[in-house]
Structure 1
């Protein structure tokens, strides 16, 4: 009996993932709940366990392939002695899976593009007609309105025909190319790095850079060693190359500006026009849709951080000694927000159709910057936690976020969010809502400023606070009241103890 291995639920708002690593190959024995492969989403890494014991059969989604929720990843032949089910077993029983299509032409089809995606654009071909290819070697890259999809070779051989050139838009069932089976089926995988460059060995890693990154580096005149990789195991990704190119241009901008005689305004050599990728177009559209859905408004205030800083300095050594965690500012802000949300519950609510859902608990989202982007882990029931418990939770979530180990459950269910742009030096900003939440508090840099206190000008450590809120559910009075209560709690932390 054949058991299907499918993509598990990836979490709220996540519809697709990339197959990062297979831990098993066809023919391997597997046990129940043994890890078969690892998927990467734009937020977390997800491990896929075996649903049954048996023998690994066909791997449907190869490494690097993008798959949607519930997509078929592989099959398992149930039972300890069950035989594997490779695709081309009937054609040959004397050669491995890579070579059993010895001389028969093999179609390269568009892989699964994910839920609701019906077409893609061929952005790059990494091979040309007549090139030898190894099984699973990347042939081309497709761009959809959600992600970039790399297409691996289904078998080793020679690329005989390219049916969809670069720039062609293809549907989800289109044929991209044809591979003629190799004479002996012994094409070595991924020969290009050893032929063209030896950077991976020099960099001390045995992972190959993304094909799209290789193409981008070639176009920019960069080598792999010139780019810092943020992908798995240091793999250089396409966005890493873009960042390196931007940094190079910034470094060269001062000398480039030296000539006094400007060129004509229409001189194309002073401009660069690059077509937006389908992914970037979608990001732009969705960000605008997010703003259009909510009636978003931001109100501002400022807080004198003198008392919080004094209290923190007085007790931080004793606090760390007893609780094993540093006393930071985030626990004060979390406590102050929980306190204010009790008085202004609509900021902790959400709109569901024509209903307003009030939450009698606070699941606090804490925005955290990571090498791969911004994530928002959620601290469940933060309103019932102590300062020490909050600090431990924030430290643990932040560490797991930086390591890419957050689970989807840890990023779901938030009712309110705090974003600390001050760690990057931001003095003032308007944070954008995290739907379906109705409020987000923006913290900023603490900066000494002259303030009028009791008729005298004194220097105080001040922070601007910003509350962005959904005006459909939160009125101006409620938003201002919330921010004033946060300000009061920070300027006199004793109010938190007295529940005032």
Structure 2
């Protein structure tokens, strides 16, 4: 009896994956739990083990194919029986089937999938199909946006999209109905003939009949790019999100056209200005960021205190040991580990900066889960490094590098961005000289780092040029008094100007 190998559950809010690599080929013997293939999602890589011992009879989803949850990947025959199963006996996404009558076309509901923990509603962002279009099972129908992630909705079966119940911009609840399909092979076969036109004649998208990645379509729409301007590197020329990013970068680096001769211009009218404007609906993620930041201002009695730190000793220590540090630990020594350690040192002395308000209670944290704010193309995210007070410089640097990369790639899970007790925001990487960071609720403190700039300083009665950095501590005055905030910032300054204090716990 043939055993089917199907796509496993891919994780919260993940509905499809790409077949990255097959480790076996048809005819190979496989053992139970031996790795058959590897799938890639936008968050994780998933290995698919063999459910039984036997022989890999055929592969249904080839490398580069996009597959949905529970889609058929391959078939395994018992040892000694490979090849004995006929095509008619084995279910396959690509096998020929007898054409049923039109009576076999049964309605199939397209439902809103599980949206994730604590997420109850979403907004319909984009429909990739319209009423009357023929669709294949697991082909993307639409994309939903929540305040945390984007969710792509695949077709539950092959057929024809007969009705769309939630138009673009509509808000839908988890488990709600999005559309209705006329399911079954008969329905798919009875689709209008014009749905096959792209395969017979050059299409407006450049003559290819390959569906571009939904995330790539969205990125092209946001950037105002025509698909003809983007070279697809996916299977059969499919445009991927990375291709759009590359096209945008190439456009920015292209030489600017020669300036036209100056001409006298009249002031445009308000109507003409309006015609040149572009109105784009905020993503759910951006709406959430805006709401949370405004809630922080409305809820907390937020105040900011400033100081400056002489980075001479930290920079000298880093320059002296960075090569040896990287050789031993396999990670570069940066400034963030010094600031993280200095904050942990100061939080021990001023624990209210590491606490939070819960109703009429103050909750003191006897640990430090440090949030490291990071700017990404999707928006501001704050991955959390847990128990950093018990970690070494090397462990902190390695975790910052790893989480920072996955944040930029959009592969952080929600669990990795929750539970922080204090946050560091480094605006200096963008050139910021001074700013007032906003609290990350329910935390009571956030440290803002800024640009290191050479400035003249009076040292022992002499003017010397020193690398200086402004520090800003925003805190909730409901729980942290001015004395505590200033003391915290002074302890951070002392630890950075004399790093030996960290070693001796002074």
TM-score scaled by structure 2?
A: 0.68
Q: 1:477 to 1:110 in 2, by over 3 A?
A: same
Cα distance in 1 between the residues matched to 2:232 and 2:466 = 41
Structure 1 residues 482, 403: CA separation in 2 closer, same or farther (over 3 Å shift)? same
Match of 1:465, SS state, is strand
CA distance in 2, matches of 1:459, 1:262: 50
Aligned mate of 1:135, from 134, 137, 150: 137
Counterpart residue number, 1:45: 44
Whether the 8 Å contact between 2:331 and 2:394 is mirrored in structure 1 is: yes
Q: Confirm or deny: 8 A CA contact 1:64 1:150 kept in the other structure.
A: no
Residue of 450, 460, 479 corresponding to 1:444: 450
Return closer, same or farther for 1:300/1:442 CA change in 2, 3 Å cut-off.
same
Matched, 1:299 2:305: yes
Following the alignment from structure 2 to structure 1, what is the Cα–Cα distance between the partners of residues 346 and 48? Answer: 43
Check 1:491–1:128 CA distance in 2 against 1; reply closer, same or farther (3 A cut).
Answer: closer
Q: Give CA deviations for 1:386-440 in whole Å, capped at 9, x if unaligned.
A: 4444444444544555566666665554332222222222222222323333222
Residues 134 and 190, structure 1, Cα contact 8 Å, conserved in 2: no
Q: Is the 8 A contact 1:433 1:468 kept in 2?
A: yes
Q: Partner residue of 2:16? A: 20
2:85 aligns with none
- Aligned-pair CA distance for 1:358: 2.0
Q: Which residue of 2 aligns with 1:57?
A: none
How many residue pairs were aligned? 452
Query: Which runs of 5 or more residues in structure 1 are unaligned?
Result: 11-15, 55-62, 66-72, 82-91
Please state how far the C-alpha of 1:312 moved relative to its aligned partner: 2.5
Pairs within 5 Å for 1:166-185: 166=168, 172-174=175-177, 176-179=179-182, 181-183=184-186
- Structure 1 counterpart SS, 2:295: helix
Query: 1:107 matched to which residue of 2?
Result: 108
Cα deviation for residue 257 of structure 1 reads: 10
Q: Distance in 2 between matches of 1:253 and 1:272?
A: 25
Matching residue within 486, 489, 494 for 2:495: 489
Stretch moving more, 441-450 or 211-220? 211-220
**1:126 match:** 128
Q: Distance in 2 between matches of 1:312 and 1:236?
A: 38
Equivalent-residue separation in structure 1 for 2:228 and 2:492 (angstroms)? 49
Change (3 A) 1:256 1:177: farther
User: Could you say if the C-alpha distance between residues 497 and 122 of structure 1 is closer, same or farther in structure 2, counting changes exceeding 3 Å?
Assistant: closer
- 1:480, distance to aligned residue in structure 2 (A): 0.9
Give the 3-state SS of the residue equivalent to 1:342 in structure 2: helix
For the residues of structure 2 that align with 1:101 and 1:320, how far apart are their CA atoms?
64
Question: Deviations along 1:330-369, whole A, 9 cap, x unmatched?
Answer: 2221222122112111112223333222233333333345
CA RMSD of aligned residues (A): 5.2
Query: Counterparts of 1:360-399 in structure 2 under 5 Å?
Result: 360-369=366-375, 374-398=380-404
1:261 pairs with one of 260, 266, 279: 266
> CA shift at 1:487, angstroms?
1.0
Partners of 1:367 and 1:377 within 8 A in 2: yes
CA distance in 2, matches of 1:93, 1:134: 21
Partner of 2:424: 418
* Distance change (3 Å), C-alpha of 1:48 and 1:19: farther
When residues 361 and 120 of structure 1 are mapped into structure 2, their CA distance, relative to the original with a 3 A threshold, is closer
Runs (5+) with no aligned partner, structure 2: 1-6, 21-29, 54-65, 78-87
Residue 383 of structure 1 aligns to a residue whose secondary structure is helix
Q: CA deviation at 1:215?
A: 9.3
Q: Give the Cα–Cα distance (whole angstroms) in 1 for the partners of residues 314 and 198 of structure 2.
A: 58
State the distance in 1 between where 2:314 and 2:131 align: 68
Residue 447 of structure 1: how far off its partner (Å)? 0.8
